[in-house]
Structure 1
């Protein structure tokens, strides 16, 4: 028998304010057609002025707990993937822990930008496999609208806010690729590419900063690295791309999503796409897409799902999970 980290509940939250592409036409030299043609994005959600990353994370967590039929007292740990926490410290995860009324266990943040949820899932999987925790709530939550340069049309039109949450629970499997749960993970980073995607501020510089991106270079790295990490994780699981029911990619750019699927020889009919409605929500994008995919009736129990993401660092990775 082999211990597996099995998905038990999924949920998401999106802020009330919806921002269509046309809203940017008032202040920038851009258009709905320009944004759609380059990214596939049609609209995104922005957090309310008083709404924080941990606020959104809690709402996504509550939805996931309801889906799993659990309460916060059933959890052993919380892992929050975010690059936009409420405060420098304590972690957003401990704030979520308090707001959920969870008085036991432990909570911590993971920061790998857009790859954050993949990194958080991998950490949660390791906690379960080691016996450190039996039930782990994994959340991706971001308020990227707070770090945008609203004069930079190449970046500010691409990002949105939101949160998604997934609950993993230890179960015994047969140790084969037919098991439910996380079957394989693959993580990578290369700090030499820091200047391709970063925020030009931080605690030690006593500034908040704004997101900066060399879009063409990020695009060039994305398809190659996403395809490679997904295939590596599948190989670790003893599977191939032909076994995949659903690719649930980081929702950054429709051209990247299509390019990766094409390179993996997976039809777009087997790819969950939400970027048109949410924009790039960084660490929140994969759990958001998983939740929406399940709600649409796309992702069903027993389906083989591959998630893959790349973000600032550069950091990238993938997870193979049987739903």
Structure 2
């Protein structure tokens, strides 16, 4: 997470708001903001180093690096190549994924498929975002939500995922979007417009409260388990109200939902990875526990993963 913290009180400098207003509607109390010269690749690199150390894997042992982001370090080269070079992961292929807030889940599913190949043993999946760089700090409906950060995980052959689900409803893509890419406008003779996040909050909320419980049910049922068998649900940290609504629809108590949005804000593709790291560091994850991770966001995309935790505490 970037060092700079922007509290709800700090947000009062930008828009008409208050800590009570933000907390009551989102559950967010602060968010981390990247510095001017701190970008997606820098955050992703730091997360990758920590994940590799945690997994006991050397960079040169990696076969593939997947980076989920909507805010790439640059258009060319891709962020995964930038991180590959900094790591010295000379044997790894490098690919970026843009599935917005579902990106880390998409990355886990792709990694699971890649590990079926005989030649691939270790895949590094990173979620990294610098959303503050595309946030309109005059728009109260979005600027209070988003923060920056990165998280990463190493997947190894023989420790595969148990069930995955990904999907999209592209017809609703304009509910959460930025303007068209500038080059397209320039070629057409138009002035480029700032690529800032725009969101129809009500439509995104309706989508999320339906797709989150549906996705969790499907991946759990695929493995023949019941919802009450789950030890943890690790949702994308978009809004605590969405998580509470999903808890009611699933009949799973909020105590089983891991929530850290209060200290991170919505970090899009990074949020589930950051949540996993928080849980791992604080000893919440125990060997044999059954987990469901679920993401949803721009696209509109969604995805879920069911797995049993195999790492010793």
Compute the TM-score of the two structures, normalised by the length of structure 2: 0.94
In the alignment, what sits opposite 1:270?
A: 256
8 Å contact from structure 1 (residues 201, 210) kept in 2: no
Tell whether 2:298 aligns with 1:312: yes
1:131: how far off? Answer: 3.3
1:17: how far off? Answer: 0.3
Whole-Å separation in 2 of the counterparts to 1:27 and 1:142? 21
1:201: how far off? Answer: 3.5
Equivalent of residue 275 in structure 2, options 275, 289, 311: 289
Equivalent of residue 7 in structure 2, options 13, 20, 24: 20
Whole-Å separation in 1 of the counterparts to 2:14 and 2:78? 35
In the alignment, what sits opposite 1:142?
A: 129
8 Å contact from structure 1 (residues 201, 208) kept in 2: no
In the alignment, what sits opposite 2:188?
A: none
Whole-Å separation in 1 of the counterparts to 2:284 and 2:80? 30
In the alignment, what sits opposite 1:69?
A: 56
Whole-Å separation in 2 of the counterparts to 1:40 and 1:17? 20
8 Å contact from structure 1 (residues 75, 135) kept in 2: yes
8 Å contact from structure 1 (residues 181, 322) kept in 2: no
More strand by share: 1
Runs of 4+ in 1 over 3 A off after TM superposition: 205-208
Tell whether 2:97 aligns with 1:97: no
Alignment RMSD: 1.2
Whole-Å separation in 1 of the counterparts to 2:120 and 2:41? 22
In the alignment, what sits opposite 1:232?
A: 218
In the alignment, what sits opposite 1:9?
A: none
Tell whether 2:67 aligns with 1:88: no
Q: Deviations over 1:279-311 (max 9, x none)?
A: 000000000000001112111222111100111
Whole-Å separation in 1 of the counterparts to 2:303 and 2:4? 31
8 Å contact from structure 1 (residues 202, 208) kept in 2: no
**Aligned length in residues:** 302
Whole-Å separation in 2 of the counterparts to 1:141 and 1:244? 27
Structure 1: 5+ residue stretches without partners: 1-13, 172-179
Whole-Å separation in 2 of the counterparts to 1:111 and 1:246? 26
Equivalent of residue 249 in structure 1, options 230, 235, 248: 235
Structure 2: 5+ residue stretches without partners: 186-191
Tell whether 2:287 aligns with 1:301: yes
Compute the TM-score of the two structures, normalised by the length of structure 1: 0.91
In the alignment, what sits opposite 1:112?
A: 99
Tell whether 2:26 aligns with 1:39: yes
Q: Deviations over 1:107-162 (max 9, x none)?
A: 10110000111111110111012335210000000000000111100001100000
Tell whether 2:44 aligns with 1:57: yes
Residues 208, 322 of structure 1: alpha-carbon distance in 2 compared, 3 angstrom cutoff: farther
